[in-house]
Structure 1
Amino acid sequence: MQHSPANLDDNPWRGRFPYNEIITLLDVNRPFNLAESTSQDLTMGELLDLAGLDRIRDLKLGYGTSAGSMALREEIARACHVAPDQVVTTQGTALGLFLLAFETCRAGDEAVLATPCFPLSRDSLVGAGATVREVKLSFDDGYRLDVDRIGAVLGPRTRLVSIASPQNPGGVQATRAEVEQLLAAMRTRSPQSLLFIDETYREASHGGAPVVDSFAALDSRIVTGASVSKALGAPGLRTGWLTVADADLRARLVVAKMNTVISGSVLDETLASVLLQHRERVLAPRRRLLANALDQLATWREAERARVDWVRPDAGALCCLRLRTDAFDDAAVARFWALLPRHDLQLACGSWFGESERAFRLGFGFLPPERLGPALSALSEALDAAAA
């Protein structure tokens, strides 16, 4: 449920950025945490076991460059099929979202945003002063990208169109055909706009499912963003990136980064570059774990189909579920959220992402395999109690 912080109830929120309860995920970690969208956290020991870090003691802890270390940019470029000079590293995808919004949108400019979405995708635009036009994708349509509806709100003031693939909270991927149709609509209706595609979960495929190619090299109007946080399980490294084909925009983003954080941590970027160099060694077992966890979740949902609908994800460690209206009235939905702490459960409320409170994001990759089953059983118990 989204509201102002408790200690500000008598004092309206005055921040440049909207307050969102997703911030509680940094402070609360219940035993059955199904709210997190990452894979299991990588340990420092696992990272240090990767080849190439034997000389880490010789690393000089001076300033890095504002564009990011060349070694890291080369690894990102290889994965995204672009040149290294098209990559700008950022402190997670979050900083990239803000810098892009801040640099592309001025007062009076508009941004078009497909929702539900990661809250920072919306709030960075609001904080940058853009007029945000949201296009809500439908749970009942499986959160497919609605190009016609997005196209209908494009205009001459549109400077940025923002989508995610795979989407957060649903894990649904956009197809190449959908992206090409969207670019065609932008060319006609908002010729000065760029398309941002958040690809944070792209490499978190399930089992042997192929990893889709990045959209980074598809068109010069596309800016992509990603990080080592989700699929690779290293959010603590705070290392992400943007791929930017336009040289002028890229230069402006580097200057913007210089004026906010100067540069990334040389330690974090060194660790991240080695992690990306050995990405398949880290990703392969995680993909198997995700496939097994998704199968377990699908079995649970089938048993709960009379009470819970879902959108099966294409990729990522997350999906979106919804309490059925014929099983839960509004009072029962409120009871459900109130009861979660008693069952040691944590879920991400749909309202955080622009959905209703009937919907919730469930992360199935964060808990160890032996804890996912008990967590889902606890979820069923919470549903029982809420419906009683």
Structure 2
Amino acid sequence: MAAVQESLSDGRQASLREAFSSSSSSSTSSSAWRGRFPYNEIISLLDVNRPFNLAESTSQDLSLGELLDLPGLESIRDLKLGYGTSAGALALRREIAEACGVPAEHVITTQGTALGLFLLAFEVCRAGDEAVLATPCFPPSRDCLLGAGVTVREVKLSFESGYRLDLGRIEESLTSKTKLVSIASPQNPSGVRTSRADVEKLLGSMARLSPAALLFIDETYREATYGDGAVVESFASLDPRIVTGSSVSKALGAPGLRTGWLTVADADLRSRLTIAKMNTVISGSVLDETLAAALLRHRERVLVPRRRLLAGALQELSNWCRGEQERIEWIRPEGGALCCLRLRADVFDDAAVSRFWQLLPDHDLQLASGKWFGESDRVFRLGFGYLPPARLGAALAALSSSLDAAAA
């Protein structure tokens, strides 16, 4: 049970601040933080964009011009900017449904996957209920649960095991109070996938130990594959207890549209989530949803060149990691534009790790600290799809120079 950790949401968040605070400086003091949602330095990604940004986990940003060049948007000037529907535009939900293999009525659109996470936590769980969360994870995956007042039982996955889902430890954490189990495939920050067989085993454990629980699977990076590799089928249609979430942010490079979704088989839960959405944001932006529908309708036109770029970038990163294997370890990702690297303990002591983070701005570098995701700061997430190909090599060379300086 050592890898299972309870986190309570009733103000006892000092340990969370310590676990998640970044070693980089911030204008906000996390020790004085009093918000309902834990403070996390990942918010810095919205404010800082250094020349060698290896912190972002998206593909390159899609431009509005590229989006408007897609067929079907010729009459967008005539779009009426009134309210949308709380469930989301039907045209958008149909595109999502086709991609996920479910009926359109199973889809609810959200402002990014993050809003879906919060609405699900807020509506599925009540006082005294528990959620089981596999970490390291995208910070809102945990913080939305805590902000909604849910007791979180954390199951830490390890770098040594390649961040593979630990079904035994998850099973140990399941109880009759568990109402939600949350995982991601591919994972953020590691890019590691969970197999269909493991999901089926997890569902079996839930049926025995937590029969009222739902399984949430974050599929945000599902379509971010490499080269001509096949896209893994969505888990949305596998079992009615599964709720999936995704968005146009990562693989398609359109995080500014703020358009995501949930797939929900249970009609009662869909109704409750729709009412919850109406009471928080009323509806999505009709402009964003119209653009997102066109983007999804022509997803392959956008994704094919991006997958080729990702394949090339991953190969360049792999070569760099091979050359730096005496100083770093890495886990090769299976999807997404992101992966985890670790500073070797036999080269970098704790003081050298601190120097490493302090020196990054001097080299115009940006990385995502493992602490943001529930790991140590010896681990960092590296995004290899955000920078143009011509700049990735220079960014990796700057990272080598940072390693030189930190180890000196």
Asked if 1:261 is matched to 2:281, the reply is yes
Q: 1:304 to 1:8 in 2, by over 3 A?
A: closer
Task: Give the structure 2 partner of residue 335 of structure 1.
Answer: 355
Please point out which of 161, 185, 205 is paired with 1:165: 185
Distance in 1 between residues matched to 2:358 and 2:249, nearest whole Å: 30
Deviation at 1:208, TM superposition (A): 1.0
TM-score, normalization by structure 2: 0.94
Aligned length in residues = 388
Distance in 2 between residues matched to 1:55 and 1:190, nearest whole Å: 50
Distance in 2 between residues matched to 1:181 and 1:6, nearest whole Å: 42
Q: Deviations over 1:341-381 (max 9, x none)?
A: 00000000000000011000000000000000000000000
Distance in 2 between residues matched to 1:22 and 1:229, nearest whole Å: 16
Distance in 1 between residues matched to 2:61 and 2:145, nearest whole Å: 29
Q: Mind listing any 5+ residue stretches in structure 2 that lack a counterpart? A: 1-19
Task: Give the structure 2 partner of residue 365 of structure 1.
Answer: 385
Asked if 1:235 is matched to 2:266, the reply is no
**SS of corresponding position for 1:210:** coil
Please point out which of 243, 266, 279 is paired with 2:299: 279
Contact 2:22 2:372 in 1 (8 A): no
- For 2:73, the aligned partner's letter is L
Q: Counterparts of 1:265-344 in structure 2 under 5 Å?
A: 265-344=285-364
Deviation at 1:58, TM superposition (A): 1.2
Distance in 1 between residues matched to 2:348 and 2:230, nearest whole Å: 38
Contact 1:3 1:19 in 2 (8 A): no
Distance in 2 between residues matched to 1:359 and 1:176, nearest whole Å: 28
Distance in 2 between residues matched to 1:254 and 1:8, nearest whole Å: 34
Q: Counterparts of 1:22-101 in structure 2 under 5 Å?
A: 22-101=42-121
Distance in 1 between residues matched to 2:63 and 2:303, nearest whole Å: 14
Contact 1:293 1:365 in 2 (8 A): yes
Please point out which of 351, 375, 381 is paired with 2:395: 375
- For 1:357, the aligned partner's letter is D
- For 1:349, the aligned partner's letter is S
Deviation at 1:6, TM superposition (A): 4.9
Distance in 1 between residues matched to 2:129 and 2:407, nearest whole Å: 46
- For 2:382, the aligned partner's letter is L
Contact 2:83 2:285 in 1 (8 A): yes
Task: Give the structure 2 partner of residue 133 of structure 1.
Answer: 153
Please point out which of 256, 269, 276 is paired with 1:249: 269
Deviation at 1:3, TM superposition (A): 6.0
Distance in 2 between residues matched to 1:9 and 1:284, nearest whole Å: 43
Distance in 2 between residues matched to 1:11 and 1:346, nearest whole Å: 23
- For 2:227, the aligned partner's letter is G
Task: Give the structure 1 partner of residue 163 of structure 2.
Answer: 143
Distance in 1 between residues matched to 2:395 and 2:337, nearest whole Å: 15
Deviation at 1:10, TM superposition (A): 9.4
**SS of corresponding position for 1:37:** coil
Q: Mind listing any 5+ residue stretches in structure 1 that lack a counterpart? A: none
Taking only the aligned residue pairs, the percentage that are identical comes to 74
Distance in 2 between residues matched to 1:3 and 1:234, nearest whole Å: 26
Task: Give the structure 2 partner of residue 207 of structure 1.
Answer: 227
Asked if 1:352 is matched to 2:372, the reply is yes
Distance in 1 between residues matched to 2:227 and 2:335, nearest whole Å: 10
Distance in 1 between residues matched to 2:134 and 2:31, nearest whole Å: 31
Deviation at 1:148, TM superposition (A): 1.0
Task: Give the structure 2 partner of residue 220 of structure 1.
Answer: 240
- For 1:215, the aligned partner's letter is F
Please point out which of 116, 131, 134 is paired with 1:114: 134
Distance in 1 between residues matched to 2:193 and 2:134, nearest whole Å: 13
Task: Give the structure 1 partner of residue 208 of structure 2.
Answer: 188
Task: Give the structure 1 partner of residue 7 of structure 2.
Answer: none
- For 1:235, the aligned partner's letter is P
Deviation at 1:12, TM superposition (A): 2.1
